[in-house]
Amino acid sequence: MKILVTGGAGFIGSNFVRYMLSKYPDVNIINLDALTYAGNLENLAGIDDRRHMFIRGDISSVEDVETVFKKHPVDTVVNFAAESHVDRSLHFGTQIFIKTNISGTQVLLDISRHYGVKRFVQISTDEVYGSLGSSGKFTEKSIIQPNNPYAATKASADFMVRAAGKSHGLNTVITRCSNNFGPYQFPEKLIPLMTANALENKDLPVYGDGMHVRDWIYVVDHCSAIDLVMRYAEDGSIYNIGSDHDVPNLEIVKLILKILGKPDTLIKHVLDRPGHDRRYAMDSSKIRKDLGWKPAYSFEEAMNKTVDWYLNNRPWLEHIRSGEYVKYYDTLYRDRLPVSGKYFPRN
């Protein structure tokens, strides 16, 4: 198997590279990543393997992508590369999301077709479905109704992938997973951010009332699902991936504090995210039935492993949480400061 993994220096991509190299002796991986603020070669530390080659390049550059295909035979593409943070798409401009998530995906689709790629796997997200009411779960047939710019660009990319399959016969599959957690996640996302702040006894900024529900999955379980979809899913199919652990944010934050032995008084309710989706929950019965997938880790075990990983990898966190990150954090969170312990709902 000769796989082009894009975004393989990011959180899920780097976990997927490790997963594949350790599972298959005959796999060869080209890892194409632009090394944006979220891409980090430290995420690939310790991978000293002739079956893995890192190339710095941008998926939205025809030249960068063509150079890879000209030099290296590729039979499968797994596209993780993306601008992935909702808050950045809301507060720091949408253009880069359109460029990478939509145009970048289209460049990959066009060149994959040209070079006769056998399978194109698009790593999408449950956010394309928008928000749920108080009951029900997203199925693969749910309406696509994204509510924030990040989600809208991911939904657009899904449609471009579908079109490449329908119009041009490219063999495509799409995975839509719920919220991941685990090692190497950039500390702008809930779990690593709260863990890092708690380790430094800083405030934990919970948006709004903290009762927004996300469905949490350990990243290694996401990787095992992608592997199955990549190898066995039918051409043109879509698979939801989730671990059935949908809980309010406040519960997650309190669990982190409990694991670290820190007080709940660190929690500060702050100004809510605009258009904040209230609830996500995934129906993943299709992948369980068709492909026999199930998560290997319980939520509690995975959370303990994850918090331990950040505890034991303080230099990794400290390298990221200096320089640009300080400016990012200050810009995003200074307007969200709590006043008299109250939060300000936007709507």
Residue 5 as a binder of ligand NAD (CB under 6 A): the answer is: no
Please, which residue, 111 or 213, has the CB nearer to ligand DAU?
213
Dist. CA 234–CA 39, nearest whole Å: 31
Closest distance of CB 150 from ligand NAD, Å? 8
Q: Considering all CA atoms of the chain, what is the largest pairwise distance in Å, rounded to the nearest integer?
A: 61
Residue 229 as a binder of ligand NAD (CB under 6 A): the answer is: no
Task: Give the closest residue to 8 by CA, choosing from 70, 69, 54, 73.
Answer: 54
Residue 267 as a binder of ligand DAU (CB under 6 A): the answer is: no
Closest distance of CB 339 from ligand NAD, Å? 31
Task: Give the closest residue to 66 by CA, choosing from 108, 7, 8, 4.
Answer: 108
Selected binder of ligand NAD within 19, 69, 80, 207 (CB under 6 A):
80
List, as one string, the DSSP characters of 6-67.
ESTTSHHHHHHHHHHHHH-TT-EEEEEE---TT--GGGGTT---TTEEEEE--TT-HHHHHH
Task: Give the closest residue to 205 by CA, choosing from 61, 63, 328, 343.
Answer: 343
Residue 107 as a binder of ligand NAD (CB under 6 A): the answer is: no
Count the site residues for ligand NAD by CB under 6 A. 30
Cα distances (Å, whole numbers) of residue 37 to 71, 233, 329: 27, 33, 13
Dist. CA 326–CA 320, nearest whole Å: 9
Selected binder of ligand NAD within 10, 149, 183, 295 (CB under 6 A):
10
Interaction pattern, residues 108-147, with ligand NAD; x per rule: CB under 6 A: ---------------x-x----------------------
Dist. CA 319–CA 296, nearest whole Å: 31
Q: Residues 58, 108: contact at Cβ < 8 Å?
A: no
Residue 213 as a binder of ligand NAD (CB under 6 A): the answer is: no
Cα distances (Å, whole numbers) of residue 177 to 63, 78, 115, 181, 238: 30, 14, 28, 12, 11
**How many CB atoms sit inside 10 A of residue 159's CB?**
13
Selected binder of ligand NAD within 154, 212, 279, 321 (CB under 6 A):
154
Closest distance of CB 155 from ligand DAU, Å? 11
Taken as a whole, the chain contains a residue count of 347
Residue 306 as a binder of ligand NAD (CB under 6 A): the answer is: no
Residue nearest ligand NAD (C-beta atom): 10
Active site residues: 126-127, 150
- Binder of residue 9, out of ligand DAU, ligand NAD, none (CB less than 5 to 8 A by kind): ligand NAD
Residue 102 as a binder of ligand NAD (CB under 6 A): the answer is: no
Part in contact with ligand NAD (CB under 6 A); list of ranges 78-86, 232-240, 293-301, 334-342: 78-86
Residue 207 as a binder of ligand DAU (CB under 6 A): the answer is: yes
Please, which residue, 125 or 306, has the CB nearer to ligand NAD?
125
Residue 81 as a binder of ligand NAD (CB under 6 A): the answer is: yes
Residue found under tokens 């150079």:
67
Closest distance of CB 190 from ligand DAU, Å? 4
Sorted by sequence, the CB contacts under 8 Å of residue 114 that are 6+ apart come out as 69
Dist. CA 241–CA 174, nearest whole Å: 11
| Contact footprint for ligand NAD (CB under 6 A) | 6-7, 9-13, 33-36, 38-39, 58-60, 80-84, 100, 104, 123, 125, 154, 177, 179-180, 186
| Contact footprint for ligand DAU (CB under 6 A) | 84-86, 125-127, 178-179, 189-190, 193, 205-207, 212, 214, 249, 273, 280
